[in-house]
Amino acid sequence: MAVFHLPRHVSDVEALKQQAGIAACDFVKDGMKIGLGTGSTVRYTVLELGRRMQEEGLSVVGVPTSEATRELAESLNIPLVPLAEAGVLDLIIDGADEFDSDFALIKGGGGALTREKIVAQSSNAMVVVADDRKQVEILGDFDLPIEVLPFEWKRTADRVAEICPGPVVRRGGDEPFISDNGGYILDCSFGSTITNPSELESALLGIAGVVEVGLFVAICDAVVMAASGGVVTLVKQGGRLA
């Protein structure tokens, strides 16, 4: 998969995010139970769902993956339920920091990777919204987020560093970022080396203190991608939406 990215102004990038976020709503049908992801692109999806509910009579129930998304959905009067009450979801729409040709993802730039993966694994399908800057040949140029327990986090980080070829740093430094779960986030510089994300995910999850890894493998079924030429929907061959 050849990937070419041209530099863009901030306003252009934001417009692309908005296009992708809105287009992803076309996967949503009346009566669905929807996982509502986290991030700057999927924010436009939530806004559009709120608009369609108010102006077009769409009826859906949402399960948010972060407190920020919950607050946004509540402000739009989107009805929310806990995942335990919702059961299996019809769909989750979420963002991604990177995706490759196998539809493997790096997620967690917003720090919500654990909740995002729990909701994604409880959904019948996953749609990612992104602009084409997130499309890569090999994962890892974006630092891989890993959520860890605060207890002896440095020891956990040292063990992660035995696997990661580049720096492993706690997000926020001396004033650490705290996830919605009360955990820390390690940002791990693998570079474009993650050719077997499933194997790497398993290795990292085997480290005591690691809560979750921002690799999403065999979960994503489609990517709604905005590029300079317009919105393109990529559907995984053999996936749940094919």
- pLDDT the model gives residue 11: 64
Tokens of residue 138, six digits? 């090999």
Which segments of the chain have a pLDDT < 50? Answer: 1-8, 10
DSSP letter at 113 equals H
Residue of 81, 76, 19 whose CA lies nearest to 53: 76
- pLDDT the model gives residue 15: 86
- pLDDT the model gives residue 9: 53
| Pairing, β 98-99 against β 222-227 | unpaired
- pLDDT the model gives residue 107: 97
The pTM is what? 0.92
| Pairing, β 144-148 against β 168-170 | unpaired
Tokens of residue 222, six digits? 């489609």
Rounded to whole angstroms, how far apart are CA atoms 191 and 210? 20
- pLDDT the model gives residue 60: 98
- Domains of the chain with CATH codes: 10-135+217-228 (3.40.50.1360), 144-208 (3.30.70.260)
Rounded to whole angstroms, how far apart are CA atoms 240 and 221? 6
The catalytic residues are 116
What DSSP string describes 51-77?
HHHHHH----EEEESSHHHHHHHHHTT
Residue of 159, 70, 185 whose CA lies nearest to 119: 70
- The SS3 call for residue 166 is coil
Rounded to whole angstroms, how far apart are CA atoms 176 and 150? 10
Residue of 230, 204, 24, 232 whose CA lies nearest to 106: 204
- pLDDT the model gives residue 178: 98
Tokens of residue 12, six digits? 């252009």
